[in-house]
Amino acid sequence: MTDATAGKPPRGGQMLAADGTPLKVSLRRAMRAQKLRALLLISPLLLFVLLTFILPIGDMLLRSVENDIVPSTLPKTVVALQDWDPKTSELPGEPVFAGLHDDLVIAVEKKANTRLGQRLNYEYSGFSSLMRGVVRDLKSMDTSRPFMEQFIEADKKWGDPAVWRTLKTFSGEYTSGYLLNALDMQRTENGIQMKPEQERIYLKLFLRTMAMSLGITFICLLLGYPIAFLLASLPLRTSNLILILVLLPFWTSLLVRTAAWKVLLQQQGVINDILVWLGLVADNARLVMINNATGTTIAMTHILLPFMILPLFSVMKGIPPSYMRAAKSLGANDWTAFWRVYFPQSIPGVGAGAILCFILAIGYYITPELVGGTSGVFISNRIAYHISTSLNWGLAAALATLLLVVVLALYWTYDRIVGIDNVKLG
Amino acid sequence: MALPPYATTGQRVWFWTFRAICVAIIFFLIMPILVVIPLSFNAQNFFTFTPEMLRFEPGAYSLRHYQDFFTNPDWQAALWNSVRIAPVATLVAVVLGTLAAVGLSQSHVPFRGTIMAILISPMIVPLIISAAGMYFFYSRLGLQGSYWGVVLAHAVLGIPFVIITVTATLVGFDKSLVRAAANMGAGPVRTFFKVQMPLILPGVISGALFAFITSFDEVVVVLFVGSASQKTLPWQMFIGLREQISPTILAVATILVAISVALLTTLELLRRRSEKLRGMSPG
């Protein structure tokens, strides 16, 4: 078709471009060029984001299941253990112990034994000391005698099938151990089970994070709705002024706002001073409003309120005021007109604001860390703790993975309801 | 929403109650920021108003916390680091972000939704997750604890803001202007700088301001990706708030509030200019 030349009459009523190619082909070619140009413009940024952001997050997700430390430190033992049935109460055979001896000699040389001990200690406490003791034990071992006896002589724990069961369970390249741990579950002989009641901490923390975030979102909605309503119903000049008052906290540094709440809420702080001065609270019974869940809730409500007001306002701006007037002229009282006519139209704004607030709230770190004490901390604080203090990176990655799943589900919902293209700032 | 002359008593009461509620909420929003300002001039090392301050004695106020901020080497190093990191991160975010936004605004972009979702994701993913991911990944590359590691991390966090503001400006952009320029013989580069850029400049600048404030105010990622030699102003404030509470923080806070007021004013002026350029009436 492309060899059609200009001047010939159009075949079968087909439209031709100036150079004689059929219009459709010519258009498609032009579009392809346009698409290519668009992609070329986007590609540097896309690559940049993929490399500096998406890849790190993928790497972290992988880390939550990665377990190469056991197979790489104890290669011979892991191979020899394959024939051992962990369900029996018998110990594995001599080849396993011989393999363990060879592996540990190399591991001690490379000083990898303590790291391995640390890793396995997350699954079975006692491994850490077992692996540290190995350095001394290996020196006194005699290669001509069976290793099984010698290991058990050196440390009774080697004679415990539970130790071997742990080793066998976590000998794969990948493990679900961290993720199970993050869900307060563990792998036992009888399959996957919940941990004992008193050891369950993460599910409780997840639930607390969710419950507090929901509470904060709800308070934000209660406080934000009237302001957005006022902004939408006032004349433009006045509403712009009030909007600036809403935007000022939005633009102020997060740390400044947290510092301000610390100043206000302390026991020797401004609010308590005023209450004491007014005589509402006795001097020796000052309110405890900080370093607990109350502190986190108040400070985070303040921080997230603009994120609720702005989407609400942008939806309410588009509701014609004549609808309310029409409802009233048809006999509705103020409340009915609002509840039956105005409120349903503002629902998209409520949805957008609530999801945005909730997404931001469940991932918060700084404010709970500074004003949350122990009862007001979120799952993020636990993740940070495992990265920088306990150094259990696998567990940190597993907790982060679970949090990410929740956030991405909400992000997807948000995209469905509002569309990410419609996110507006300021 | 003015009160009509025929309003009943109940309506009047509700009208004024509603206004009172709104005033109270706005007070809740603004008061914490305002309370910091007088406290930063406290002559004592207290975090609250002293009786002398309430009696407005001149001796109760002083600039000593500001003096501390400008002479203390810790604070000065932190300020200097912030000033070194934020503009570079902003530059990277704005250049790449504007290019991509121009690409995204063309009419037929394949996988537009997916690309947009990826580019906006740094804003949605909780900071602690971004920080954890970058910490693990950048340590493998040897970028952890380096200046460029922090700059790259901050740039990627600022990108969603640039994309959002610039694509929003491009919605109102008349594409026939580009065709007119091409028609008169201008190449794509020349068209971009001479025709498109001046018109979308307000959006680009407000995107840049957002990216700048994101970096300038960011603490979680820098805590993990940076090392002590990249300690920024927010990091120093974070330490100050967590460990030794010194009123110098309030002086810094006041300075930062002043900066955000300046930024907000700039943005408002830009918004009005952009609306004027698009032929809408200024608010």
- The predicted-structure confidence for B220-231, as pLDDT tens digits, reads as follows 999 999 988 889
Q: Is there a contact between A399 and A382 (Cβ–Cβ < 8 Å)? A: yes
CB distance A41–B165 less than 8 Å? no
Torsion over CA: A387, A391, A393, A395 (sign): negative
- Mean pLDDT within A348-370: 90
Whether A195 is in a domain gets the answer: no
pLDDT of residue A404: 93
Q: How close A421 comes to chain B (CA, Å)?
A: 8
Residues A392 and A302 both lie in one domain: yes
Has residue B131 been placed in a domain? yes
Q: Do A365 and A390 fall within a single domain?
A: yes
Mean pLDDT over the full length of chain B: 87
A334 lies in some domain: yes
Full residue range of the structural domain in which residue A25 is found: 11-55
Domain containing residue B226: CATH number = 1.10.3720.10
CA B16 to chain centre: 35
- Assigned domain for B220 exists: yes
What span, in angstroms and rounded, lies between the C-alpha atoms of A373 and A294?
A: 10
Q: Identify from A28, A34, A41, A356 which residue to disrupt to test chain B contact, counting B C-beta atoms within 10 A and taking the largest count.
A: A41
Task: State the pLDDT confidence band at A267, using cuts at 50, 70 and 90.
Answer: confident
Q: Which of residues 35-64 of A touch B (CB under 8 A)?
A: 35, 37-42, 44-46, 48-50, 52-60, 63
Judged by a CB distance cut-off of 8 A, whether residue A244 touches chain B is: yes
For B203, other C-beta atoms within 10 Å of its C-beta total 25
Residue B7 main-chain phi, psi, to 5 deg: -60, 145
What HEC string does A117-140 produce? HHHHHCCCCCHHHHHHHHHHHHHC
Between helix B147-171 and helix B73-104 the angle, nearest 10°, is 40
Distance from CA of B190 to the nearest CA of A (A): 16
Is there a single domain that holds both residue A40 and residue A82?
A: no
Q: Strand A185-188 relative to strand A191-194: parallel, antiparallel, unpaired?
A: antiparallel
Domain identity same for A277 and A399: yes
Which two tokens mark B118? 């990826």
Same domain, A236 and A292: yes
Looking at chain B, which residue has its C-alpha nearest residue A230? B22
Considering its fold, how many domains does chain A have in total? Answer: 3
Q: Are residues A341 and A233 in the same domain?
A: yes
Does residue B52 belong to any structural domain of this protein? no
Residues A380 and A403 in one domain: yes
Q: Does A210 reside within a domain?
A: yes
Q: Which residues of B touch A370 (CB under 8 A)?
A: 238, 241-242
Residue B40: per-residue pLDDT: 87
Judge whether B152 lies within some domain: yes
Confidence category of residue A354, pLDDT binned at 50, 70, 90: very high
* Count of domains for chain B: 1
Q: Which residue of A has its CA nearest to B93?
A: A45
- Grade residue B282 by pLDDT with cuts at 50, 70 and 90: very low
Nearest alpha-carbon partner for A310 in A367, A237, A254, A227: A227
Q: Per the domain annotation, does B14 fall within a domain?
A: no
Same domain (yes/no): A45, A138: no
Inside any domain, residue A60: no
Residue A193 within a domain: no
Same domain, A124 and A23: no
For residue B195, pLDDT beyond 60: yes
Show the domain range for B89.
66-277
Distance CA B260, CA B30 (A): 13
pLDDT digits (tens, 9 = 90+) for A23-54: 888 888 888 888 888 899 999 999 999 999 99
Query: Would residue A81 count as lying in a domain?
Result: yes
The verdict on residue B110 lying in a domain is yes
Residue A345 located in a structural domain: yes
| Beta carbons of B262 and B212 less than 8 angstroms apart | no
A77 and A164 both lie in a single domain = yes
Contacts of A54 in chain B (CB under 8 A): 118, 121
For residue B26, which residues of chain A lie inside 8 Å, CB to CB? 227, 242, 245-246
A38 Cα to chain B: minimum distance (Å)? 4
> What is the C-alpha R_g of chain B?
24
Q: Which of A152, A171, A190 is the last residue of a domain?
A: A171
Does A424 score more than 80 pLDDT?
no
Are A225 and A283 found together in one domain?
yes
Asked if residue B224 is part of any domain, the answer here is yes
C-beta atoms of A56 and B137 within 8 A: yes
Residue A422 banded pLDDT, cuts 50, 70, 90: low
Rounded to the nearest angstrom, the minimum Cα separation between B276 and chain A is 16
Q: CA–CA separation, B96 vs B119, rounded Å?
A: 11
Chain B within 8 Å of A339 (Cβ-Cβ)? Answer: no
Q: Quick check: is A178 in a domain?
A: no
Predicted local confidence at residue A2, as pLDDT: 46
**pLDDT of res. B225:** 92
Residue B76 Cα, gap to closest chain A Cα (Å): 18
pLDDT at B281: 43
- Residue B26 belongs to some domain of the structure: no
Residues of A in Cβ contact (< 8 Å) with B54: none
- Shared domain check, A145 and A27: no
As a whole number, mean pLDDT of residues B70-85 equals 92
